[in-house]
Amino acid sequence: MKKSKAFSLIEVIVSVFILFLVLIPSIKLNSQQLKTYSIIREKQKDLHFFNSLNNYLKSKSISNSHLEFNNYSDFINSFSDFQSYIRDIQNKDFNLLIDIEDIEVNFSDRKEKISLISLEYKGTSKTYKNKIIKFKD
């Protein structure tokens, strides 16, 4: 009797079944990783925007003002040169408060003029707050 070298139908069915048992959890895991990655990326965009805004306001001389922006396009219309700091962010939950106050601080040997900049940015996932003290010349 000659032995056939081809796979039997049962062997093929069992192999395909085992392959599906291995692939389905792996596909679910990969889709979960993609969801997690997209969430992290959105949070990173918000944090990058906030850090860039901090650096931008440190470099500009803006006097006493209270500014409130509820969308990114209004913010860019007011600060058009900020676009060189960061690319456009598409954020539905954009809310930015900038409060700049010029005050004079009395040190023991001299008086200095400073700008106290208060920032509050509410992004998609978190609220970022910061106070910046900027010495004026």
Give residue-wise pLDDT tens across range 110-122: 888 989 999 999 8
Confidence of residue 87 (pLDDT cuts 50, 70, 90): low
DSSP H helix total and E strand total for the chain? 2, 4
Query: What per-residue confidence (pLDDT) applies to 3?
Result: 61
Whole-angstrom distance, CA of residue 12 vs CA of residue 17: 9
Q: Which residue ranges make up each domain of the chain?
A: 9-135
Identify the CA nearest to 47 among candidates 100, 125, 116, 99: 125
Mean pLDDT of the chain: 84
Give me the residue label for tokens 């409060």.
99
Model's pTM, two decimal places? Answer: 0.68
- All residues at 6 or more sequence positions from 112 whose CB lies less than 8 Å from its CB, including other chains: 104, 105, 135, 136
23-51 pLDDT tens trace: 888 888 888 888 999 888 888 888 888 88
User: d(Cα 100, Cα 115) in Å, to the nearest integer?
Assistant: 6
